[in-house]
């Protein structure tokens, strides 16, 4: 979606911006509707915005409108969710009433990462989801290749699964940013993401298996085996 008017307030309820979003969603979402899980497709849930709690606007009318627009063009019987950093400050503006609130964090203290959901909302009873579990990290132009140890990535995953929480790994497979799609995190000074989005993922940008892949596979394998014994 291209917007060339610098006066438009991005990611807000500015009528000019919302108009473009509505036009685009009116084209995109009907094409995706047959692919929803309830229609026999692979899309099991729909995310509203992305880490909006990290954006300065904090426009509740905007996020409420996005949810209503999705429900209008999809259906009510879909799991809608938000994802934000594991801090109450992020959830203040990122969470949306009527959706599942999820968090994202990398290797480290899994219990602390999920606990913020209860600190933010004492009545929250799950499911507890890390919708972007960072098993690696992106590279920035001029910096060394990012690295997260396989041991740390597998340990936090193991802790999460033992707590019976859900995890979506980001990124499981490295990729490539073509053309001008690489973007930048908004740092000052400006440092763009390079063409490579290898991300130190479990599978490299070239698709090669890594030690991290086998560590993650072994971790998941242990949990599945334990679940089989538990259910017998």
pLDDT per position as a tens digit, 56-80:
999 999 999 999 999 999 977 799 9
H/E element holding 150?
Answer: helix 150-162
pTM: 0.91
Q: Name the 3-class secondary structure at 154.
A: helix
State both tokens at 51.
Answer: 């880490």
H/E element holding 100?
Answer: strand 100-106
> Is pLDDT larger for residue 23 or for residue 222?
23
Residue 68 annotated as catalytic: no
The pLDDT tens digits for 76-100 are 779 999 999 999 999 999 999 999 9
| Domains observed in the chain | 1-128 (3.20.20.80), 135-232 (no CATH)
Of all residues in the chain, what percent are helix, strand and coil, respectively (each to 5)?
A: 40, 15, 45
Residue 49 annotated as catalytic: no
State both tokens at 124.
Answer: 């929250």
Q: Exactly one of 49, 51, 205, 224 is catalytic; name it.
A: 51
Residue 227 has pLDDT above 60, yes or no: no
So what's the pLDDT on residue 228? 44
**Nearest C-alpha neighbor of 135 from the set 54, 217, 79:** 217
Q: Exactly one of 68, 132, 205, 224 is catalytic; name it.
A: 132
**Nearest C-alpha neighbor of 70 from the set 81, 55, 84:** 81
State both tokens at 35.
Answer: 């692919």
Residue 231 has pLDDT above 90, yes or no: no
Angle, helices 60-73/15-32, rounded to nearest 10 degrees: 30
Rounded to an integer, the average pLDDT of 44-65 is 97
Residue 226 has pLDDT above 70, yes or no: no
> How many angstroms separate the CA atoms of 102 and 83, rounded?
5
What are the Cα distances from residue 128, in Å, to 43, 45, 113, 163? 19, 15, 10, 9
**Nearest C-alpha neighbor of 45 from the set 104, 100, 127:** 100
Least confident of 69-78, 138-147, 169-178: 69-78
Residue 188 burial (10 A CB sphere; 0-12, 13-18, 19+)? exposed
**Nearest C-alpha neighbor of 9 from the set 25, 217, 93, 19:** 19
Rounded to an integer, the average pLDDT of 150-156 is 98
């Amino acid at each position: 979606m291209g917007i060339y008017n610098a006066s438009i307030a991005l990611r807000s309820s500015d009528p000019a911006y919302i108009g473009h979003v509505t036009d685009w969603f009116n084209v995109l979402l009907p094409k995706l509707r047959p692919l929803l899980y309830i229609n026999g497709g692979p899309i099991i849930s729909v995310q509203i915005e992305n880490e909006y709690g990290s954006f300065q606007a904090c426009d509740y009318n905007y996020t409420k409108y996005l949810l209503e627009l999705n429900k209008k063009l999809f259906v009510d019987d879909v799991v809608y969710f938000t994802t934000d950093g594991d801090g109450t400050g992020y959830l203040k503006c990122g969470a949306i009433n009527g959706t599942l609130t999820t968090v994202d964090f990398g290797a480290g203290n899994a219990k602390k990462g999920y606990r913020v959901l209860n600190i933010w909302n004492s009545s929250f009873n799950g499911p507890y989801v890390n919708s972007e579990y960072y098993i690696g990290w992106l590279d920035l132009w001029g910096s060394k290749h990012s690295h997260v140890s396989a041991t740390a990535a597998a340990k936090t995953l193991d802790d999460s699964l033992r707590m019976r929480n859900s995890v979506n790994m980001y990124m499981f497979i490295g990729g490539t940013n073509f053309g001008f799609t690489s973007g930048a995190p908004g740092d000052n000074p400006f440092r763009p993401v390079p063409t490579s989005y290898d991300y130190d993922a479990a599978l490299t940008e070239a698709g090669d298996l890594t030690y991290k892949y086998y560590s993650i596979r072994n971790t998941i394998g242990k949990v599945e085996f334990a679940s089989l014994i538990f259910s017998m």
